[in-house]
Structures are given as structure tokens and as C-alpha cells.
């Protein structure tokens, strides 16, 4: 089985690429979704976060106050590293388990979406690392459209490797400016006959 890691800067097209690939028949796991699962009520990570950062991070329904946690950790790199030490090993365990399930099922190829792929030194697990990228102007425009403030955008960009460094470390790069059709054509060149025909 060929295993692809999919990464890129925030707002640079990872989720769109993952959606296209899943629609075209490629098994995909997105670690952003896994990150949400490991902090659901009853999960050990949630209790560890509350014990580390304060019980006020848990709402009346027992759920994590994500926005409040974001304010805490994106304003303090030390606290962000503490949170990552709680979450990243659990996230990695889950996606590695999924990869093994795919291998046993005889899948030809699969994709793991990891925003912090290089930052967490996960690249050795993959046959190829695909990076999605766009201009800084488009990135900021997309993030503003998500409702982020200029300060939040800068904090989140600063928490990742510069996109130029990610591009240099990746095998193919998918440039996500322009229309969706061009985005999909680039993925077709990267994945070839692994993809199911378009519908």
C-alpha cells in the first residue's frame, strides 16, 4: 500500500484536497477530526487538559471550550507545547491504527491529513508527502472568511513551519489558487490511476 501524508499551511487547501480524494475513492483520515475525538467527554485527554490548564475549559455539558483553549495556547508557545504533548501521541496512535486497518484490508493507497506533519516528525511514516499551498494573500483571505481575526491568523501561521519550508520538504506540491477543477487535475497527476473516475 502506498501511504501519502497530506499537509500544508492553515487555509491552504488540505480539507478540499481530502474531500476530492475521498470522493474519488481514496481512503482518508484527517487528524483534525481525530484531534476532536480525543478530547470528547470521557476521553482521558480532556481530563488531562482540564487538570493542566484549568477546569474553566470544560463547559456545563462537559465539553471542551475550544475557543478559550485557543486563546490560551496560541498566545503562549510553552503552553502550546504542553498541549501538543498531551494530544499528539494519542492522535498518532489513532491514525497509525487506521493505517494498519487499511493495510490488512488490502487498500492500494491511503491518505493521512496532518497539518503539523513535519512539525511532529511524522514524515518517515509515509511513502510520499503532498503539500497543498497558495499565496499568503489567498491564505489570509480564506482565514478571514472563516471569521478569524488578523491576530488569530498570525498566531496560527506562526505556530507552523513557514510554507516555503514545507514545500521544500515535500514530494509533490498542489497549488490551490484558482478554480476547483485545476485543484482536482493536480491531484489526478499526483495520484494517477489510484483515483476512481470522476462522476
Residue where the block lists cell 499551511:
9
Q: Give this prediction's pTM.
A: 0.94
Residues paired with residue 175 on neighbouring β-strands, in sequence order: 133
Q: Would you state the pLDDT for residue 178?
A: 87
DSSP SS3 for 87: helix
- Hey, what long-range contacts does 75-81 have (CB within 8 A, 24 or more apart)? 75/155, 77/159, 79/53, 80/159
pLDDT given for residue 198 in this prediction? 84
Contact 79, 123 (CB under 8 A): no
CATH of segment(s) 2-191: 3.40.50.300
Give CA–CA dist 5/131, Å, rounded: 8
For residue 144, how far is the Cα from the chain centroid? 19
| Domain regions of the chain by residue span | 2-191
**Strand extents, DSSP E, the chain:** 2-8, 28-30, 109-113, 128-133, 173-175
3-state secondary structure of 60: coil
Q: How far is 82 from 72, CA to CA, in rounded Å?
A: 11
What pLDDT does residue 75 have?
86
Q: What is the per-residue pLDDT for 70?
A: 93
pLDDT tens, the chain, 199 aa long:
999 999 999 999 999 999 999 999 999 999 999 999 999 999 999 999 999 999 999 999 999 999 999 999 998 999 999 999 999 999 999 999 999 999 999 999 999 999 999 999 999 999 999 999 999 999 999 999 999 999 999 999 999 999 999 999 999 999 999 899 999 999 999 999 999 998 7
Q: What are phi and psi of 12, to 5 degrees?
A: -105, 15
- How far apart are alpha carbons 162 and 156 in whole angstroms? 11
| Cβ proximity of 138 and 55 under 8 Å | no
Amino acid at each position: 500500500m502506498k501511504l501519502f501524508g497530506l499537509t500544508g499551511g492553515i487555509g491552504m487547501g488540505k480539507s478540499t484536497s481530502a474531500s476530492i480524494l475521498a470522493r474519488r475513492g481514496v481512503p482518508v483520515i484527517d487528524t483534525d477530526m481525530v484531534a476532536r475525538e480525543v478530547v470528547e467527554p470521557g476521553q482521558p485527554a480532556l481530563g488531562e487538559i482540564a487538570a493542566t490548564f484549568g477546569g474553566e475549559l470544560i463547559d456545563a455539558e462537559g465539553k471542551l471550550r475550544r475557543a478559550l483553549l485557543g486563546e490560551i495556547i496560541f498566545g503562549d508557545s510553552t503552553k502550546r507545547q504542553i498541549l501538543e504533548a498531551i494530544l499528539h501521541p494519542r492522535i498518532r496512535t489513532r491514525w497509525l491504527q487506521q493505517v494498519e486497518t487499511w493495510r490488512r484490508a488490502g487498500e492500494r493507497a491511503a491518505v493521512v491529513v496532518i497539518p503539523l506533519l513535519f512539525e511532529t516528525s511524522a514524515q518517515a511514516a509515509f511513502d510520499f508527502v503532498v503539500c497543498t499551498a497558495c499565496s499568503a494573500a489567498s491564505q489570509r483571505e480564506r482565514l478571514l472568511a472563516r471569521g478569524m481575526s488578523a491576530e488569530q491568523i498570525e498566531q496560527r501561521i506562526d505556530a507552523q513551519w513557514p510554507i516555503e519550508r514545507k514545500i521544500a520538504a515535500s514530494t509533490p506540491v498542489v497549488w490551490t489558487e484558482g478554480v476547483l477543477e485545476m485543484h482536482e487535475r493536480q491531484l489526478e497527476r499526483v495520484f494517477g490511476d489510484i483515483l476512481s473516475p470522476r462522476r
